[in-house]
Amino acid sequence: MTFEMPDFLLALPEIWVLSMACLVLVVDLFARGRESALAFHLVQFTLLAAAWLSIETQWGVTATTFSGTYVADKFACLLKVAICLLTFLVFAYSRDYLRKRDLLSGDFFLLGLLGVLGMMIMASAHSLLTVYLGLELVELCLFAMVAYDRENRVGSEAAMKYFVLAALSSGMLLYGMSMVYGAAQSLDLAQIAAIAANGESGLLLAFGLTFILVGVAFKFGAVPFHMWIPDVYQGALTPVTVYVGTAPKIAAVALFVRLLVDGLGALHDQWQVMATIIAVGSLAVGNLFALVQTNIKRMLGYSTIAHVGFLFLGFIAGTEEGYSAALFYAITYGLMAAGAFGVVILLSRRGFEADLIEDMKGLNDRHSGFAVVMLILMFSLTGVPGTVGFYAKWLVLKAVIDVNMVWLAVVAVIFAVIGAFYYLRVVRMVYFDRRSDGEPLEASTGLRIVLAGNGLAVLVLGIFPDSLIMACKVALAG
């Protein structure tokens, strides 16, 4: 193999995040005891700077480096910006929560930052090896974060389940990758795409494709590989749940697009049917099981599964519009989910998790402003026009209808209507139910501002979604 010097500047966002993570690791060691404030602010600064660096160095270029294992393009750039900004939001929610429970330490933010690095690596992966290593990096951070509160038995159990199931799915993914490697004789996604396009060794590729799809569906938490989602969402600390529920979904879109669109896009006909089964299953299981939940974190977990079903519609369409709609869905879903869990964090206090749906009762009496935020978020998750959730659903449905799969769109809409019930039930509790102990909210000013901003962002994006939709389209057009 010939070797040419890699263009390090192209990978500047990743190099920046890694260097800062090492710095935070050392700084946190010496600045402990003061609530890890320095580590927290450094991590937040790193995330913002990484988003800026991604735009500066990668928007508008399409180039590979590191001997074809790394690619910088608009798709990667948009994903990295979204991942960094969403994680910034999640960490802003987390700090207050952890401080109140004496759990605050730099490790939490450090692991989160390294997880972000893994997601960025996945977004820029151009070889099966890089995809897999990025994925492992993310998952390792997630396991540790789910088990973060050692005293909490439910959390440890959730981490154990997650670990075992994720290891199994990684095995599936690797098995599929080895089959694809055997067929293409190369780890490079461009080479694999070339082999898949010319139609030789189709059976071996299709065999590998099946296992890869299983692995990818697990990372999304799509039915029938969704078992870990409710337990992990419920068992983990709420800040960890927000982390698991937002940015990794965007990284999963990267996983799907890199492996199954960039790599095996020529086999779209073969994975379309499988993806359809996964989508319909996710819509059904997610929405129906969410109806009967009493724990709001678990309910939002099932709601995630339902949303993943919707997101898959974009992939099923298999057009550029479809993929960009799926990307738009993932980003906006991340924003909505972060807000919904943010309200749970807002209502909780030391010794009281506020994780039952009933705990939402009477929020309007306690603080009418946050009741409006919750109203906007729930309407957006339902897909009511005027919120960003409506455009997300509309775009994927349009993509599916454009490829003449009207029946799938009808199924999706029916389940969305069923899903409206459990979102609107929360709204009813917020506005029309009384609560005996109307204690005032304890949250700090910072948390209140962040949450209000999150609600506002959902509303503003719902009124002016054009720029983000355009960005998603441009990202996948290149």
Examine residue 69 and tell whether it contacts another protein (CB under 8 A): yes
The answer to whether 438 and 358 are in contact (CB under 8 A) is: no
Among 70, 75, 88, 422, binds another protein (CB under 8 A): 70
Q: At what angle are helices 74-100 and 37-58 packed, to 10 degrees?
A: 170
Stretch that binds another protein, among 93-101, 109-117, 212-220, 349-357 (CB under 8 A): 109-117
Residue 464's nearest CA partner among 332, 369, 321 is: 332
Examine residue 27 and tell whether it contacts another protein (CB under 8 A): no
Examine residue 192 and tell whether it contacts another protein (CB under 8 A): no
Examine residue 345 and tell whether it contacts another protein (CB under 8 A): no
Examine residue 12 and tell whether it contacts another protein (CB under 8 A): no
Stretch that binds another protein, among 77-85, 105-113, 215-223, 440-448 (CB under 8 A): 105-113
Stretch that binds another protein, among 106-114, 227-235, 303-311, 469-477 (CB under 8 A): 106-114
Question: Exposed/middle/buried for 53, CB within 10 Å: 0-12, 13-18, 19+?
Answer: buried
The answer to whether 120 and 81 are in contact (CB under 8 A) is: no
Among 38, 49, 59, 66, binds another protein (CB under 8 A): 66
Return the sign of the alpha-carbon dihedral for residues 93, 99, 101, 102: positive
Examine residue 90 and tell whether it contacts another protein (CB under 8 A): no
Examine residue 177 and tell whether it contacts another protein (CB under 8 A): no
CA count, 13 A, side-chain hemisphere, 143: 13
DSSP conformational letter for 394: H
Minimum gap (Å) between residue 50 Cβ and another protein? 15
Examine residue 190 and tell whether it contacts another protein (CB under 8 A): no
Query: 143 vs 370, which CB is nearer to another protein?
Result: 143
Minimum gap (Å) between residue 136 Cβ and another protein? 6
Stretch that binds another protein, among 110-118, 302-310, 353-361, 392-400 (CB under 8 A): 110-118
Residue 354's nearest CA partner among 342, 364, 365 is: 342
- Say how far apart CA 442 and CA 446 lie, in whole Å: 12
Query: 110 vs 388, which CB is nearer to another protein?
Result: 110
Return the sign of the alpha-carbon dihedral for residues 421, 423, 429, 430: negative
Minimum gap (Å) between residue 194 Cβ and another protein? 19
Residue 322 has which token pair?
């479809």
Query: 140 vs 424, which CB is nearer to another protein?
Result: 140
Q: Which helix (H) or strand (E) holds 334?
A: helix 320-347
- Say how far apart CA 209 and CA 394 lie, in whole Å: 29
Query: 112 vs 339, which CB is nearer to another protein?
Result: 112
Examine residue 91 and tell whether it contacts another protein (CB under 8 A): no
Examine residue 433 and tell whether it contacts another protein (CB under 8 A): no
DSSP conformational letter for 267: G
Q: Is the peptide bond before 224 cis (omega within 30 degrees of 0)?
A: yes
Residue 182 has which token pair?
């055997």
The answer to whether 247 and 87 are in contact (CB under 8 A) is: yes
Examine residue 110 and tell whether it contacts another protein (CB under 8 A): yes
The answer to whether 279 and 312 are in contact (CB under 8 A) is: yes
Binding marks (x or -) toward another protein, 125..164, rule CB under 8 A? --x-xx--xx-xx--xx-xx--xx-x--------------
Examine residue 111 and tell whether it contacts another protein (CB under 8 A): yes
Stretch that binds another protein, among 113-121, 169-177, 350-358, 407-415 (CB under 8 A): 113-121
The answer to whether 192 and 217 are in contact (CB under 8 A) is: no
- Say how far apart CA 98 and CA 261 lie, in whole Å: 40
Stretch that binds another protein, among 76-84, 90-98, 117-125, 223-231 (CB under 8 A): 117-125
Q: Residue for token digits 């960003």?
A: 388
Residues of this chain that interact with another protein (CB under 8 A) are 1, 3, 6, 11, 18, 25, 66-67, 69-70, 105, 107, 110-111, 114, 117-118, 121, 127, 129-130, 133-134, 136-137, 140-141, 143-144, 147-148, 150
